[in-house]
Amino acid sequence: MENKELQLLVERISRDVFHKPFVHQAIFNKRLRTTGGRYMLTNHFIEINPLVIQLHDEQELIGIIKHEFGHYHLHIEGKGYKHGDDDFKQLLQNTNSPRHCKPLAERSMKNSVLHIYRCKSCDFEYPRRRRMDCRKFRCGKCSGEIYKVQ
């Protein structure tokens, strides 16, 4: 699917589901990583992650477009367009639009290193992803001194 086809699909969904015209532009954005799409407040564009088409079916794409239209139409009308606003929640419910999209990428832990700390008194181990300053912390069980194992 290319941008022209996406534009036609978006215009059709806006007309059929929301009964309002979409007079701006819908485009694919390869730089989106974790989100299925986004609505740009500044220029009213709707950007869609092309991974949605590769990883999921057309219904997921339509759901993301309907979700972004919730932001779009409410923002144009001057109503509450943010995720926590009642207007937004009500519009999503009325149009049967999803609140969230399916995951597009696995969260990778390959760059995170596991640091192991141990108490000198009770030998309790503290595995952590983030480093900690052993001079500032004590053991939570016995208040003993902590040192780094690896």
How far apart are alpha carbons 103 and 139 in whole angstroms? 38
Q: End-to-end distance of the chain based on CA atoms, in angstroms?
A: 50
Which is nearest to 17 in space by CA: 59, 81, 89, 70? Answer: 70
Q: Which residue is associated with the tokens 């092309």? A: 50
* Active-site residue identified among 11, 68, 106, 145: 68
How far apart are alpha carbons 101 and 30 in whole angstroms? 17
How far apart are alpha carbons 46 and 68 in whole angstroms? 7
Q: Is residue 2 flagged as an active site residue? A: no
Residues identified as active-site: 68
